[in-house]
Structure 1
Amino acid sequence: MLRSAAALLCLATASACLAQTTTTALNPTLQQQIETITQEPAVVRAHWGVSVTTLSGAPIATLNDGQFFQPASNTKLFTTATVSALVPLDTRLHTRLLAVGTGLRDGVLQGDLILRGGGDANFSGRPVPYRPLKPGEKEPPRPELRYIDELADRIQQQGIRSIQGDIRGDDSLLAYQPYPPDWSLDDMVWYYGAPITSLMIADNSIDITVTPGKQQPGQPTYDTPSIHLNPDLSYYEFDTHDLKTVPGAPTRIDFDRMPGSRVLHLRGTIAPDAAPSTESISIDDPAEYAALALKRALEQRGITVTGQAVAKHGPLAGLQRDDLVEASIAGKTTSTSPLRPAVTVPDAGGNTPMFGSAECTRLQAAGSVACVVADHVGLPLADDIVVTNKVSQNQHADLLLRMLPLELNQGAATTANGAMLERRFLTEQADIDPRDFYFNDGSGMSGHNIVTPRAITQLLRYASTQPWGAQWKASLPVGGVDGSLRSRFPNEPLKNHVFAKTGTLGEVHALSGYLDCRSGQTVVFSLMVNTHTPLNNDDLKAMDRIVASIAAAE
């Protein structure tokens, strides 16, 4: 038996005892079932962790629940729970358009137009509040630049016909740290590895659709496949020399881009009769991209812009991973004030003063003023937490973590400060053992995040007792219904009775949440698998069988 072997190891090595469960499982039958499933030949070489408890904390079944695992997107459980507890869920973030210059005369703005990001992750075409797709329903096209168009309309309505200056995309609200520590270089080309910025646009990604080329009459070869973009905005240059239309070939297209480069290399094959292939690619500099989008929208409305579309970033963030880990272990932040929920500052409502009004801010430069000329108010924070957990949106989770110090007025908006404030909350209020977790980001993309299964079930139990707990639980994917669990647990008795966060990263799978059991009780569980066989999902099948066993246990 695995537990017997672990007990012998504990006797031999004192440090190993810390990683083992010190309590006896309440359900020996379920314990045996879990150990049998995890010992099957297809999955036995993976590293398994299991923690199943009642809502009151009594252990039902455990396996390596005190050992460390990479949590992948189970990290989002900790991020969104911390934010739910400390920041009012009705908080709305603003994306503002400011005119900075010497004035507006005869429809001519003498100065720059600045699009200033306020941390709203849903400045995009995503339908929010989140709505699950019905069976057979396809996601409708998303007008990703709809809010850019709305702001451009506001400028036109105010009689501005010409801008004698630049269009600036400003993400300086956050320190400039587009990628959290230890994100993988080869992930940065894809949507899930896009930069983290306070001015997010279209989830900081572009959909690229490759359509097979046609054969010209009398020619033996086919045209190079065509490229279509959503949003349809020129930003990257495309190198398609190695992209071919080949009869009978599989659709296999690779995308490559060096960090900081605006050249996207596409290589591979697609058959003439193949369906178009779409991939989502990250935007290298979202602030500049947003400025380009706004400049084009203004010009489409007949407004001339003499300057360029440029980006304005904040100062570089200083802390690296080793500093973050050391500070996290010590529990340090840049502030020593009590950790308490934030107080919502009353907003000015729909007040958007015209350029030159008394409410504008006069700058130090002689005769120069800055005025808000348009204001996009984001949706409530609660809606973004639902999106973050349901679809496992990495950039939203890391933006939440980065914004936490600002919302609590506790230091600079960096990943390190957010992670340290999160650690304080989890240890001081959620009563999680500080030795049981170390996080480097808010999404789980970092391969250096580690956590124990028992830390996750402790978080789940704690959340179930809090005023915000029911709303947070409702943000989790539901088995057979929505989010990342839409296609898992499609049948009764599990359909609509598993409320859990998935996690996938390399050879990592995780699933943690709440489960309604046949006995009538709701339990919390965390199932974690590390170092499973590459390109293989046998561990997922085993994991789902464990969930079924837990639900059926008496």
Structure 2
Amino acid sequence: MNTWLTPGLATMFLTALALPAAGLTSEHQQSSESICQAQLGSNIDAVINRPQFRRARWGILIQLLSSDEKNRASIINKDNTLYSHDAQHFFIPASNIKLLTTATALRQLGSAFRIRTSVYDTGAGSLRVVGRGDPSLTDVQLKDLAQQLKRQGVRYVRHLVVDDGYFQGDVINLSWEWEDIQADYGASVNSLILNQNAVKLTLSPQKLGQPLQVSWADAIAAKQWRVENDSVTAEAGTSATVTLSSVLGQSVLRIKGQLAVDAQPKSFGLAILNPAEYFLQHFRNVLEAEGIQVRRASVVNNMGTPGERELAAVESPPLSVLLVETNQQSNNLYAEALLRSLQASAFVKLDTMNGSSQRNNENFSSPRLPTPDSRLPIFKLGVDANNDSSQIGLNKVESTLTDLGVDPKSYVLADGSGVSRHNLVSPEAIAQTLKLMAHTPQAAVYRASLPTAGVSGTLQRRFLNTAAQGYLQAKTGTMSGVSALSGYLDVPSYQPVVFSIMVNQSDQSVTNLRGAIDEIILLLTRLRSC
């Protein structure tokens, strides 16, 4: 992942670092000596009580995964606990928060849920595009929409309106750090998401003494910044010191530092400043490339009026697929979009916005686009259109998890992705969620969305050639001073276990923290009944 290169950045990683089970010695990796349940505690204590962790806070809960599907009390029974250390205390969970968000999305929306983007006829030759927060939307889908319109005979649009009003409230979380919301992994979450609301910028060395060359992957996105390039190409072998910075609320991007003349180009992922305008310009270009002339275009935030006829539409992959990207790649934008999509379960269906109007369209003279019954229904706020979509989602997470059986006092949520350091979660809350979800109809989809050790996602390069490879499905979490891992482990010669491990307030490197966590997991793989 491309990160914002500033000292001390609280970085939320979207993908795993290209590291093996860092910190593990060959003895830890290869040991197959069995340990009994009674020995587990002292072995884990020996890891977390090392001198380098004396200032860190550890929270750990390891429990058997109950097979009693009918008794919720049995599922979360403390008698099933194999090890506990400050399991009821609050910790910053980083991306482990996604376990709660995605569990709620599955319970509330269902694995077949899709997010629909529509184009409506508003009369007199005008079109209105309604986005509903599809995080997977790219230029490919925009071209699909344009081609649908073209097939229906649309050749001229008097006024193109893109409606960014489906999600209400702030498009960025006010508890996120400034460094985070500048970077691609902290991109704004609005109703009209395109290309994950992010763009890649590449800096390349030029002749000695010249400024670095600035290249953008997207020319439309590039127009949103005014670049102040104070960088320089340095002598061969010089260390890279490039930094990017900007001022909140301004479009200035400052580039400082140096790259050696013989250095490879460096890329950075940036959050789009104005996502709705970015969407508008892209769609206008796509329409014109398909031979559809656009006279005027603008952004609105009012969700239009009932009775408009849907002319074209595209849909996201099903939720089961969106969850894989969310959890396996730890995609923050996806998590935040799904959090806001939970408002759909609090809305009432508005049939007139789903193409129920039979009004003829004399300006386009095109047939009505059929809407199969399996497609996502359109929703509108049923009570208060000014409600904040993010807060509605957070409320829905709490109520859903409470209904599931998770103690609502065991966590405090500030977002759906884990970027915020205001999130507070206990290992007990995570373990309860994992255990209870394992006994729901959504269990298989939920578990399949998690990274598998040595195989996929953010665990693809962890636990390689160890007893955990292929047997561990877990969610990672990383930011400065924080590392977490929570999930399921099928112990080869023991019972399946569920666990949550979090470490906070550490001055150790990510490599050391992950190495210690991985040692604990490998201890679990050695458990035997004795």
Q: What TM bracket, shorter-length normalisation? A: 0.7 to 0.9
2:56 is matched with which residue? Answer: 46
CA change 1:222–1:491 in 2 (3 A) is same
Q: Is the 8 A contact 2:452 2:472 kept in 1?
A: yes
Distance 1:551 1:238 in 2: 54
The unaligned stretches of length 5 or more in structure 1 are: 1-25, 103-108, 125-144, 316-360, 364-368
SS at match of 1:28: helix
Distance 1:73 1:146 in 2: 29
Q: Is the 8 A contact 1:405 1:413 kept in 2?
A: no
Q: Is the 8 A contact 1:27 1:61 kept in 2?
A: no
Written as runs of structure 1 = structure 2, the 5 A alignment for 1:272-287 is 272-287=261-276
* TM-superposed deviation, 1:151: 1.9
Aligned mate of 1:398, from 329, 333, 336: 336
Q: Is the 8 A contact 1:42 1:538 kept in 2?
A: no
Distance 1:281 1:202 in 2: 12
SS at match of 2:119: strand
Distance 2:263 2:506 in 1: 33
* TM-superposed deviation, 1:271: 2.2
CA change 1:100–1:486 in 2 (3 A) is same
Written as runs of structure 1 = structure 2, the 5 A alignment for 1:73-222 is 73-102=95-124, 109=125, 111=126, 113-124=127-138, 145-165=139-159, 167-213=160-206, 215=207, 221-222=209-210
CA change 1:55–1:371 in 2 (3 A) is same
* TM-superposed deviation, 1:549: 0.8
The unaligned stretches of length 5 or more in structure 2 are: 1-35, 67-76, 348-381
CA change 1:234–1:295 in 2 (3 A) is farther
* TM-superposed deviation, 1:362: 8.5
Of structures 1 and 2, the one scoring higher in RCO (CA 8 A, sep 6+) is 2
SS at match of 1:152: helix
Deviations, residues 194-251 of structure 1 (Å, cap 9, x unaligned) = 11112211111112222222x3xxxx63453131314765432342421222223333
Aligned mate of 2:398, from 420, 423, 426: 423
Q: Is the 8 A contact 2:150 2:292 kept in 1?
A: yes
2:65 is matched with which residue? Answer: 55
2:355 is matched with which residue? Answer: none
1:460 is matched with which residue? Answer: 434
1:294 is matched with which residue? Answer: 283
Aligned mate of 2:491, from 517, 528, 538: 517
Written as runs of structure 1 = structure 2, the 5 A alignment for 1:539-550 is 539-550=513-524
CA change 1:43–1:462 in 2 (3 A) is same
CA change 1:254–1:371 in 2 (3 A) is farther
* TM-superposed deviation, 1:385: 1.1
2:45 is matched with which residue? Answer: 35
Amino acid at match of 2:398: R
Superposed CA RMSD: 2.3
1:265 is matched with which residue? Answer: 254
Written as runs of structure 1 = structure 2, the 5 A alignment for 1:339-350 is none
CA change 1:362–1:96 in 2 (3 A) is closer
CA change 1:428–1:156 in 2 (3 A) is closer
Distance 2:409 2:152 in 1: 57
CA change 1:30–1:254 in 2 (3 A) is same
CA change 1:169–1:212 in 2 (3 A) is farther
SS at match of 1:78: helix
Runs of 4+ in 1 over 6 A off after TM superposition: none
TM-score (norm 2): 0.79
Identity %: 30
Distance 1:178 1:287 in 2: 11
- Report whether the alignment pairs 1:380 with 2:315: no
Q: Is the 8 A contact 2:327 2:475 kept in 1?
A: yes
Deviations, residues 432-478 of structure 1 (Å, cap 9, x unaligned) = 22221111111111211111111111111111111111110010011
TM-score (norm 1): 0.75
Q: Is the 8 A contact 2:187 2:197 kept in 1?
A: yes
Distance 1:66 1:306 in 2: 60
SS at match of 2:203: strand
- Report whether the alignment pairs 1:251 with 2:247: no
